[in-house]
Structure 1
Amino acid sequence: MFHGNVWIFDPTNILDRKEPSTDHFNIIGMVRNSMDAEKVGAIFEAATHGEGSREGNPNAHFDLMGSKIIGSLLLAANVSGKNDRDVFRWAMTTDEDEPAAILDEHGFANQAATLRGLKRQPVETRGSVWATAQRCASPFEHEDYLASIRPVNDQHRVFDPVAFATSTDTLILLGSRTAGATSALVSSLVWDVFRSAQREALAGSNGRLRVPLVMELDEVGNTVILPELPEWYSFAGSLGIIISSYFQSVSQGRKQFGKEGMNELIGAASVLVYGGGGTEEDFVSSLSKIIGHYDHKVTSHSSSYNARSGHGRSSSDQIQRREILSAADLANLSPGTMYVRTSDGGGGIVASHYWFKDEQLTQKIEPRMRRLKMGLKSTGPGDKDLIDVG
């Protein structure tokens, strides 16, 4: 049976709805303390960083400090009842004084000291740190898609991540890394939902969510930029949080998490699904080695002749170790064919099942998609879902 509300965060109307969603999401409000400020600041920095590997970044120190500055500005805005306009103004005018005074007033002396200390840095250092903070503030630049993150009087229209964690609702997040850096907003919402679900699970008697949280994260690397994602994979399942992340390539994951981070994520995943087309030789070669070898019996025949015994024949068998699937086989899997491996050691080749080719699934899904595009409130599945659609 289908029940529960569907919440939609689609600030740039990727869904092309006739009427925009009336749902509201309190991005500023999720930054309640200094740890929240640091984590959300890191998400904003990563999501606005642009393409390219983070490894060997010569500006890493400025990026780190800039992420702390934007986090402190978000914290100052939340505790003083201000909004994204103030965060953007502080960043663009390189104003340390007003947010520092607010943080001091609300008991965040260390964050205030960090802001004031920036004024005493050399001009080049201060400029580089503020340049990062300004980049991090870019999601707040375009007024036309910020209505959904600003306060409203009707609290029934405001998404509550804590209530969501114990509900049967569905949350659909849509954004883009290029469309005004909305991926920073999407990624922060994913983080807030995960954080809330984690707390609810740990507060329960068995340490698990009563209703599992299913997180379908499409376009990881483009839309969902979460530095903590590999770490989440190591423990989320035990909390009743099921995460599925979709990458266009291994290289895309390495750009976001680094090679070691991507290896950590793959190693911690309960199920690995590879759909072919991989061009990273080291990755497909490692898959080939993991899949293993089989013993192939090779029989050879020989004949001989001598005057005493005449013609003779003999045969011998040899066992050769051969790859079950070579790197070339894996790179050239036919469309619709996937390799699946589970953490308990099982694995094999499977055929994809396309929902749009399944009449029963199509009849269930398409009407709901039409309702969403028309701007009508729909109902969601029994388990709560967090779905990112890049």
Structure 2
Amino acid sequence: MPDAIDGDFSRSQAVLIGTWDYDDLAPVPAARHSLERMRSLLTGPLCAWLSDRVFTASNHRLPQDLPDLLVEKFEEATDVALFYFVGHGQIDPDDQLCLALGETSTKPTRRRTTSLTFEHVKHAFRMSAAPVKIAILDCCFAGMAVDQAGRLSDTPGLPQSPPGTYLMMASGPYSTAWYQLAGEHPQPQTYFTKSMIDVVERGIPSQAPGLTIGDIFDRTADILVRDGKPEPGCQIFDRATHFVFARNAGTRATTGWLPVDAKADSLATSGELAPLTDATARTKAGELGLRLTDDDEPGVRIGISVSGGMTMYGSYEQTHLDIWGLRQGKTTSRVIPAVLDAPGPVFVASSRRDVVIATREVREERRPGTTFVFDPQDVSGEQPSWCWDPIAWVRGGSREDLARAEIRAAKLAAHFAHSVDGRDEKSDASFDPEGEDLLVGLILAAAVARRSIRAVWEWLSDTFDDSPVQILMASAPNRNLPAALGLRAQYNTDVRTRNRIFGAAKRMARCLQLSSIYPWVEQDGSRTPLDEARFVEEGGTLYALSLEGRGNASPLVSALAEAVLDAATNQAARSDLGRLPTPMLAVFDEAAHMVRWRDLPRLYRRFGSSGIVVMTLLQSWAQGVQCWSPDGMAALWAAADIRVIGGGLDDIAFLRERFEAMVNDNVTPESTGEQPLSSSQRAVQFSVSDFVSLPRGRVVAFPSGGKPVLMRTVPWWEGEYAHRVRESYARQLAVSSTWAEDIDETPPS
């Protein structure tokens, strides 16, 4: 018999029904959150139900086909049949329990005909061959589900309730069930469901690795009675009380316990994780009107909370900033899983070919869009069958649109100026602004003349060739284009000054001297140019690769990132909702080397609100400071909705700031005994040294507006596509054994 430890519920069926919007009865917002949380629990790691074996019906108006649907669903179950209802309950004149739906009448004579009666549920159970049947009723008068004879049913001519039936009721036959009020709680829940799920998520220490349904009910009843809430009831037949409903989070056996896990509850506890749960992510996706399929994740997975063992998600309007030390699993636990799960277009900037190997085939099978690999430095061995022409992007669709071309020329020049070569500390930085302005003028001239970016390097290599000035002067109606005037002034300055300006610009654009770059950035008729807007619309995948170090192609990778995200932002602005209907994922792995985008901190929040989930990964806070300045890095941290700190960091000042933020976030440091803690305060056992020694496989997430959460990372080999990724690795290994030298962690067999 499968259970939460065995984890095979492929022959089981759960039906969850919740109603919170009523015509004649009072609305119950708490029922909505309870239903979502129950589904999240069942399909999460503690209960391990398959999502396609959990059917959910929300705000059904009238019974109509519901009784037949119950029979149909439970006939499919040969192991476990589970029914859950949350909402109003009523009693009809014959003392029958009526589970209220949206248009259920309050008139006693019409309650049965406008409700889903518990008789319907009992009938569906009897028609099922499942040896274990569980009914959870979170409504008023739930005790009416048990007749006076104490059986689940005594309908003549039908067999008695089969072995293994467990009925759990939030209230007695003539008492009400309670729920939290919307005005007092941001995400109100019914007290019974909340208490039950809290018990499961916290676990029961010193118990077996699996929690039986009897254990869960007993602990839930104790908590409710202790807190002055209505006492729940249960009815058990045969051995149902011993059915293992969930893994026991209290034993730590489900997470591979590490010593730091003992401090998890000093951060966010299971009851404080609502902003990051599956249910919240699904609710947010619905509110945003996103176009997702049943197989899509409700958000971007972060990890599994140590406290409660729940999968944590960022919603599809939240941006991410990760700071992990070297070889701590960023690629295997964050980048690859996020790309595999992404429901829409994906842009990945990385120096690692294993990202392409691990995700390309799965993406091509699951998503309709085209796959592009931009690899001018031969990181993955990809051949240039397409190209991205940065000068064509600057030019745009109209040759006469000089105003837009000027802006894009400045943006493209900024990527060269802000690159590792452009920020060379050994150089004379006094001419850097002039050098960047020179690049702007040359790029604009190349755009006006419909030349490729090769022309920019040719002009930089010949300080006496003033043809760019002539091109721009001829393009302006009154020959007073500001860029043309500025470029002419630079050419007309004294030779020594001009050489230093050109020298600064050549240093910034050093990558353009690499001949391997041009097949990727020039149109020659044999390679299809990238249409950024079409790529976003079709939901494609683009991997932009570059090596680290000076002279690399990262300025072009960074510029390509801006071009694609600019197209995505424009498409979002044109949509009815002001955001992409299917969210986009942009991953900037090793961003300090790959995507040195000067304006990124300023644009971060705009991307999130446009439905573009940006995930920036760094090896240290200092990297970010070097890339964006102290103020820029602070702005990026503030703009990110989900900030994740991994192990391998030794920046004490940065980690101390994070610790002090935790201390000031409605919690206090460990008591010295001089002043007692109030009931709303909790000792912070987590320390700066815990950050420094954070082991591989553990991270601390700082959600915007929420408490920090200790999480277990989930590498790709624990995910849904592990088998497919292993196959991809095996095929690559058969071709070349050298690729494995670059991977973040050796994939387990």
Q: Please state which band the TM-score falls in when normalised by the shorter chain.
A: 0.7 to 0.9
Query: 2: distance between equivalents of 1:13 and 1:179?
Result: 16
* Cα distance, 1:134 vs structure 2: 1.1
**Residues 79 and 359 (structure 1 numbering): CA distance in 2 closer, same or farther, change over 3 Å?**
same
Asked if the contact 1:72/1:111 (under 8 Å) is kept, the reply is: yes
Query: 1: distance between equivalents of 2:604 and 2:462?
Result: 39
- Decide which of 618, 631, 649 is 1:278's aligned counterpart: 649
Asked if the contact 1:45/1:132 (under 8 Å) is kept, the reply is: no
Q: Does 1:68 align with 2:430?
A: no
1:304-319 equivalent positions in 2, closer than 5 A: 318-319=675-676
* Cα distance, 1:50 vs structure 2: 5.9
**Residues 58 and 230 (structure 1 numbering): CA distance in 2 closer, same or farther, change over 3 Å?**
same
Asked if the contact 1:338/1:349 (under 8 Å) is kept, the reply is: yes
Query: 2: distance between equivalents of 1:58 and 1:15?
Result: 32
* Cα distance, 1:349 vs structure 2: 0.6
Q: Which amino acid in structure 1 is aligned with residue 540 of structure 2?
A: D
* Cα distance, 1:323 vs structure 2: 4.0
- Decide which of 447, 471, 489 is 1:102's aligned counterpart: 471
- Decide which of 31, 49, 54 is 2:394's aligned counterpart: 31
Query: 2: distance between equivalents of 1:92 and 1:268?
Result: 41
Query: 1: distance between equivalents of 2:574 and 2:733?
Result: 37
* Cα distance, 1:44 vs structure 2: 0.8
Alignment deviations for residues 145-187 of structure 1 (CA, whole Å, 9 cap, x no partner): 32111113256x2211121222210111001243632001101
Of all paired residues, the percent bearing the same amino acid is 26
Query: 2: distance between equivalents of 1:200 and 1:374?
Result: 41
Asked if the contact 2:647/2:699 (under 8 Å) is kept, the reply is: yes
User: Which residue is 1:8 aligned to?
Assistant: 373
* Cα distance, 1:52 vs structure 2: 6.6
Q: Does 1:118 align with 2:490?
A: yes
Q: Pick 1 or 2: higher relative contact order, CA cutoff 8 A, min separation 6.
A: 1
Q: Structure 2 length normalisation: TM-score?
A: 0.44
* Cα distance, 1:70 vs structure 2: 1.1
User: Which residue is 1:363 aligned to?
Assistant: 723
**Which entry has the higher C-alpha Rg, 1 or 2?**
2
- Decide which of 422, 444, 449 is 1:80's aligned counterpart: 449
Asked if the contact 1:336/1:351 (under 8 Å) is kept, the reply is: yes
Q: Does 1:141 align with 2:504?
A: no
**Unaligned stretches of 5+ in structure 2?**
1-365, 396-404, 736-743, 745-749
* Cα distance, 1:250 vs structure 2: 0.6
Moved more, 8-17 or 218-227: 8-17
3-state SS of 2:487 partner: helix
User: Which residue is 1:227 aligned to?
Assistant: 598
Query: 1: distance between equivalents of 2:467 and 2:445?
Result: 9
* Cα distance, 1:353 vs structure 2: 1.1
Q: Does 1:89 align with 2:458?
A: yes
Asked if the contact 2:670/2:685 (under 8 Å) is kept, the reply is: no
Asked if the contact 1:42/1:68 (under 8 Å) is kept, the reply is: no
**Residues 94 and 68 (structure 1 numbering): CA distance in 2 closer, same or farther, change over 3 Å?**
same
Q: Which amino acid in structure 1 is aligned with residue 537 of structure 2?
A: T
**Residues 31 and 2 (structure 1 numbering): CA distance in 2 closer, same or farther, change over 3 Å?**
closer
Asked if the contact 1:47/1:177 (under 8 Å) is kept, the reply is: no
Asked if the contact 2:422/2:509 (under 8 Å) is kept, the reply is: no
User: Which residue is 1:386 aligned to?
Assistant: none
Query: 2: distance between equivalents of 1:51 and 1:201?
Result: 33
Alignment deviations for residues 28-51 of structure 1 (CA, whole Å, 9 cap, x no partner): 212221111111111111114366
Q: Does 1:269 align with 2:634?
A: no
Q: Which amino acid in structure 2 is aligned with residue 342 of structure 1?
A: P
The Cα RMSD (Å) is 2.7
Query: 1: distance between equivalents of 2:415 and 2:522?
Result: 20
Q: Which amino acid in structure 1 is aligned with residue 375 of structure 2?
A: D
* Cα distance, 1:213 vs structure 2: 1.6
**Residues 298 and 138 (structure 1 numbering): CA distance in 2 closer, same or farther, change over 3 Å?**
closer
Query: 2: distance between equivalents of 1:328 and 1:189?
Result: 40
Query: 2: distance between equivalents of 1:122 and 1:177?
Result: 36
Q: Which amino acid in structure 2 is aligned with residue 329 of structure 1?
A: D
User: Which residue is 2:567 aligned to?
Assistant: 196
Q: Matched residue pairs, number?
A: 352
Asked if the contact 1:215/1:241 (under 8 Å) is kept, the reply is: yes
Q: Does 1:181 align with 2:538?
A: no
User: Which residue is 1:258 aligned to?
Assistant: 629
Query: 1: distance between equivalents of 2:380 and 2:713?
Result: 26
Query: 2: distance between equivalents of 1:291 and 1:347?
Result: 7
Asked if the contact 1:340/1:350 (under 8 Å) is kept, the reply is: yes
Query: 1: distance between equivalents of 2:390 and 2:733?
Result: 24
User: Which residue is 2:688 aligned to?
Assistant: 327
Alignment deviations for residues 220-245 of structure 1 (CA, whole Å, 9 cap, x no partner): 01111100110111221111111000
* Cα distance, 1:364 vs structure 2: 2.5
Query: 2: distance between equivalents of 1:44 and 1:13?
Result: 20
User: Which residue is 1:302 aligned to?
Assistant: none
Alignment deviations for residues 60-97 of structure 1 (CA, whole Å, 9 cap, x no partner): 55212211211221221122122233211100112462
**Residues 110 and 50 (structure 1 numbering): CA distance in 2 closer, same or farther, change over 3 Å?**
closer
Q: Which amino acid in structure 1 is aligned with residue 369 of structure 2?
A: G
Asked if the contact 1:166/1:211 (under 8 Å) is kept, the reply is: no
Asked if the contact 1:28/1:84 (under 8 Å) is kept, the reply is: yes
* Cα distance, 1:322 vs structure 2: 5.4
* Cα distance, 1:58 vs structure 2: 9.2
3-state SS of 1:272 partner: strand
Q: Structure 1 length normalisation: TM-score?
A: 0.82
Asked if the contact 2:373/2:542 (under 8 Å) is kept, the reply is: yes
* Cα distance, 1:27 vs structure 2: 1.7
* Cα distance, 1:253 vs structure 2: 0.5
Q: Does 1:349 align with 2:687?
A: no
3-state SS of 2:591 partner: coil
User: Which residue is 2:699 aligned to?
Assistant: 338
Q: Does 1:130 align with 2:495?
A: no
Query: 1: distance between equivalents of 2:456 and 2:556?
Result: 14
1:280-299 equivalent positions in 2, closer than 5 A: 280-292=651-663, 293-294=667-668, 296=670
Asked if the contact 1:62/1:132 (under 8 Å) is kept, the reply is: yes
3-state SS of 1:234 partner: helix
Moved more, 177-186 or 127-136: 177-186
* Cα distance, 1:350 vs structure 2: 0.6
Asked if the contact 1:294/1:324 (under 8 Å) is kept, the reply is: no
Query: 2: distance between equivalents of 1:97 and 1:298?
Result: 74
Q: Does 1:218 align with 2:589?
A: yes
Query: 2: distance between equivalents of 1:112 and 1:229?
Result: 28
**Unaligned stretches of 5+ in structure 1?**
300-316, 376-388
Asked if the contact 1:96/1:116 (under 8 Å) is kept, the reply is: no
**Residues 280 and 150 (structure 1 numbering): CA distance in 2 closer, same or farther, change over 3 Å?**
same
**Residues 124 and 323 (structure 1 numbering): CA distance in 2 closer, same or farther, change over 3 Å?**
farther
* Cα distance, 1:324 vs structure 2: 3.4
Asked if the contact 2:583/2:613 (under 8 Å) is kept, the reply is: yes
**Residues 64 and 373 (structure 1 numbering): CA distance in 2 closer, same or farther, change over 3 Å?**
farther
Moved more, 104-113 or 127-136: 104-113
Asked if the contact 2:422/2:508 (under 8 Å) is kept, the reply is: no
Asked if the contact 1:291/1:324 (under 8 Å) is kept, the reply is: no
Q: Which amino acid in structure 2 is aligned with residue 192 of structure 1?
A: A
* Cα distance, 1:189 vs structure 2: 0.3
Alignment deviations for residues 332-383 of structure 1 (CA, whole Å, 9 cap, x no partner): 111111000111213211111111x3274322334456789999xxxxxxxx
Query: 2: distance between equivalents of 1:165 and 1:134?
Result: 33
Moved more, 90-99 or 223-232: 90-99
**Residues 69 and 197 (structure 1 numbering): CA distance in 2 closer, same or farther, change over 3 Å?**
same
Q: Which amino acid in structure 2 is aligned with residue 252 of structure 1?
A: Q
